[in-house]
Amino acid sequence: DATALFCGEDNRFGTHLEVYPRPDGTVYICGIGGSDYITTSELQDSAFLFDCPPKDDRVEAAASAFQMMSDTYSTRGELAKTQACMRPCPPDAKPYMGRVPGYTGAYINGGHNCWGIAWAPASGKAIAELVLEGESRSVDLRPFNPARYTSQGRGGRGRKKKGLSVGEQW
């Protein structure tokens, strides 16, 4: 069963849970909030956080919020495992979808933040169309251009020297 529950903001606990029942009877919960933000220099130093432990206060918030939603969990449920992970989120909160600038035949479809699972079918279809047909018909990919934070993705205004951008671009 491909059932998922996407909850709104719960200001009592500072959560916005996503609840995924699994075939083995367990329930996966995410959307706990309280993420740490990684600076550009931290990301450049190491692409991964080798130690990304869950925060006890956020785990408790999620458990409390879910207890309010589930009679079974509030009376018989137990927390079997906690974990945390890095979640990709570009500065404008829009995913990177499209051709990778400067590389032939390279594409990216990532950075969907917490919406990756929900947007996967549409994102996958759009990128498949781009790869196989040369353009996406189902989704306008211009707002998600992977080059939008590079000089190639900006408006093209600024100083030029023999057709190449030099100095400040906007």
pLDDT (tens digit per residue) in 6-34: 888 889 998 888 898 888 888 888 877 77
Question: What is the spatial distance between Cα 88 and Cα 95, in angstroms, rounded to a whole number?
Answer: 9
Q: Which helix (H) or strand (E) holds 75?
A: helix 71-76
Give the whole-angstrom CA distance, residue 116 versus residue 159.
38
Contacts of residue 4, Cβ cutoff 8 Å, sequence gap at least 6: 18, 19, 20, 117, 118
Q: How far is CA 144 from CA 11, 98, 132, in A?
A: 31, 7, 19
Q: What is the pTM of this model?
A: 0.62
pLDDT of residue 41: 79
Greater confidence (9 vs 86) lies with 9
Quick one: pLDDT band at residue 170, thresholds 50, 70, 90? Answer: very low
Which runs of E-coded beta strand occur in 10-95?
Answer: 18-21, 27-30
- Give the closest residue to 115 by CA, choosing from 137, 140, 87, 142: 87
**Which of the two residues, 5 and 40, has the higher pLDDT score?**
5
Written as one letter, the residue type at 129 is: E
What is the biggest distance separating any 2 CA atoms in the chain, rounded to whole angstroms?
72
The span from the CA of 116 to the CA of 95, in Å, is: 9
The candidate with the shortest Cα–Cα distance to 138, out of 151, 157, 120, 125, is: 125
Cα separation, 152 vs 100, whole angstroms:
11
Let me know: does 141 contact 126? Beta carbons within 8 Å: yes
> What is the structure's pLDDT at 109?
96
